[in-house]
Amino acid sequence: MDITSNFSKEQLLNMFLSFYDTDYWITKIRTLQLLIEDEELLKKVSQDEVLKKFDKEKLKRSYQYELHMASYHSSEALFGLIFAFLFQKETPWVYLTEYRFDEFNKLVGDIKERGFASIIKEDEIPKFIGWLFFPGVSKENFSEYEKIEKSISFIESYLKSVARTLSDKKDYNSYKHGFRGLPIKSAITIQRQEANIPPLESSGESSLYLDFDIETKNGTPNKRLKIVTKTYSYKTALNIIATNTQMIKNIVESRKHIIVDKATQVNFALFFDKEIKDIFHTELKDKPFHISKFQIK
């Protein structure tokens, strides 16, 4: 279907770049982090006329839950921008308004499996990532271009890891669609029968939600209900959101400076010294026999 508008492509792009709030997730998660980790601040907040009737641990749990879900939100925003500038670079705002989530989820799933080679010719990937996250930068105008090359390599690997996280987001869907996911503190231990085999453990802040398996009996598909407990770490969410925000800033603010402000100098976040394992490492992984998702059917 054709789209008509009183606005030119240039006007839409300039408006989008000018008003996109690249600081949204950082300001949100920093506030939540302070409420979780600063006992004095939490004590002060919990004395509020409305909040004083709630247990402080319950308040802290809700902040951790919100922060965890914000990591999905920022990841969706990052991939949305990537796809918008890949498929509709002149009018990314229109793409973000029109795209269907089934198409979006398939693109993310493909990246999880095969990286950017699933949507871009392999030999064009570094050029696209460089253009998207470091527009206008070249070997001729940036003396330390090897830092850009290492950053491009990191971004490609990082986005594949985020795609893996974003492909398992039923807890996020249960949160944003009707708030049917329940924030809980879970502790499950499974003692295995084999002698001298440590038990499997699942404990910590978790999301409790319902899901279904499809079973076919006599040629007829049936839904089998299951209860899922998914443990998370808000510290991992902090790492993901901080990294996502740096990348979103590179995409949006650099173009704002170049296209809207006509600036002669643009600042970029570089990732040449980043390690994927440091971003996704959490205290949960310190437990060698920990399980992060537990299902009861």
Q: What is the pLDDT of residue 202?
A: 56
Res 79 pLDDT > 60: yes
Per-residue pLDDT tens digits for 83-134: 999 999 999 999 999 999 999 999 999 999 999 999 999 999 999 999 999 9
Asked whether the predicted pLDDT for residue 293 surpasses 80, the reply is: no
Q: What is the pLDDT of residue 25?
A: 96
Host domain of residue 91: 9-178+234-286
Say if 119 falls within a structural domain: yes
Mention every residue, 6+ apart, whose C-beta is less than 8 A from residue 241: 25, 26, 29, 67, 70, 71, 74
Side-chain-side CA neighbours of residue 77 (13 Å): 23
Within a domain: residue 220? no
Give domain status of residue 56, yes or no: yes
If one counts every other C-beta atom within 10 angstroms of the C-beta of residue 61, the result is 18
Q: How many domains does the chain have?
A: 1
On the question of pLDDT at 191 being above 70, the answer is no
**Number of Cβ within a 10 Å radius of residue 207:** 23
pLDDT for 269? 95
Decide if pLDDT at 135 tops 70: yes
Asked whether residue 289 carries a pLDDT value surpassing 70, the answer given is no
CA dist 243 and 165 (Å) reads 14
Q: Closest by alpha carbon to 285, among 236, 230, 243, 239?
A: 236
Q: Is residue 55 part of a domain?
A: yes
Distance of alpha carbon 113 from alpha carbon 140, whole angstroms: 35
In a domain, 147, yes or no: yes
Token pair for 169: 């987001």
Contacts of 185 (CB under 8 A, 6+ apart): 61, 204, 205, 206
Percent of the chain with pLDDT over 70: 91
